[in-house]
Amino acid sequence: MKEKLREAAIELFERKGFKETSVQEIVEAIGATKGAFYYYYKSKEELLCDICVSYLDDLLRQQEHIIQDVGASCTDKLRAIVYMVISNIRTRKKSARIFFREMRHLADDHLAEIRAKRRVFRKRYEQLIEDGIARGEFKPSLNAEMITFGLLGITNWSYYWFQPDGGVSEKELTDIYVDFILNGIRAQSEKTGAGVGGSPISLK
């Protein structure tokens, strides 16, 4: 029942907005009662927080799996994380839109939990850049923190305009982003002028 309530809320929040959706509409969408709703959630805001936390936890699990791959280079991990975020636009687009658009309606205690999780995601990204610098994959002059904010800005807002069924696929958009990012941050070979590895990255 709790999962059904969450799924119904995702549909309604994404289509109508958080403030414009009532608890009554949520329970009617699945044939439940308000009593059932308040058994699982103290308020509509708590349900919104649950949706946002679930979305973030899923991203964190995927990010951790990528980073823990000891056989992958920092460049490969960076590409994999970018692709993960982009591909989630197809699989969890509605949750992403709710997360970025409706999070402002949460109270400070709920926001604190979400901010802590966002910080973990960001710090892992930042550490990956620092590791890449230390290994000679990325330019030593980089400010890892600022690069991280830039990466998040590029990828996070793709949910707003990117249409996976349009003219550009997730893999193609990832190639565009990664090429754009790495041509700016990859260490250059003195002999060839090419980036580390000497060839462009492609997911094809």
| DSSP codes, the chain | -HHHHHHHHHHHHHHH-TTT--HHHHHHHTT--HHHHHHH-SSHHHHHHHHHHHHHHHHHHHHHHHHT-TTS-HHHHHHHHHHHHHHHHHHSHHHHHHHHHHGGGS-HHHHHHHHHHHHHHHHHHHHHHHHHHHTTSB-TT--HHHHHHHHHHHHHTHHHH--TTSSS-HHHHHHHHHHHHHHHHBPPPTTT---TTSS-----
pLDDT of residue 194: 45
- Is the pLDDT at 56 greater than 90? The verdict is yes
pLDDT of residue 185: 59
Q: What is the largest CA-CA distance in the chain?
A: 71
Lowest model confidence (mean pLDDT) among 36-40, 52-56, 189-193: 189-193
CB–CB of 195/132 below 8 Å? no
Number of domains present in the structure of the chain: 1
- Across the strands, what pairs with 186? 138
pLDDT digits (tens, 9 = 90+) for 77-122: 999 999 898 888 778 888 988 998 899 999 999 999 999 999 999 9
- Is the pLDDT at 200 greater than 50? The verdict is no
User: How confident is residue 164, by pLDDT bands cut at 50, 70 and 90?
Assistant: confident
Q: Give just the sign of the alpha carbon dihedral 9, 15, 17, 22.
A: negative
pLDDT of residue 192: 40
Task: Indicate the average pLDDT of the chain.
Answer: 86
Q: CA 199: distance to chain centroid?
A: 27
| Boundaries of domain holding 132 | 63-185
pLDDT of residue 188: 58
Q: Is residue 48 part of a domain?
A: no
Q: Is residue 174 part of a domain?
A: yes
Q: Is residue 117 part of a domain?
A: yes
Q: Is residue 155 part of a domain?
A: yes
* CA distance linking residue 112 with residue 151, whole number of Å: 23
| Between 182 and 16, residue with greater pLDDT | 16
Q: Is residue 53 part of a domain?
A: no
Q: Is residue 143 part of a domain?
A: yes
CB–CB of 37/27 below 8 Å? yes
Residue 73 zone, left/alpha/beta (φ > 0; ψ -120 to 50; rest): beta
- Is the pLDDT at 163 greater than 80? The verdict is no
pLDDT of residue 130: 96
pLDDT of residue 167: 81
Lowest model confidence (mean pLDDT) among 100-104, 115-119, 144-148, 175-179: 175-179
pLDDT digits (tens, 9 = 90+) for 22-37: 999 999 999 999 999 9
What Å distances lie between residue 86 and 33, 136, 200, CA to CA?
37, 27, 19
Highest mean pLDDT among 10-19, 83-92, 161-170, 173-182 belongs to 10-19
- Is the pLDDT at 183 greater than 80? The verdict is no
pLDDT of residue 190: 47
pLDDT of residue 204: 41
Q: Letter for the amino acid at 134?
A: A
CATH of the domain at 125: 1.10.357.10
Q: Is residue 29 part of a domain?
A: no
Q: Is residue 203 part of a domain?
A: no
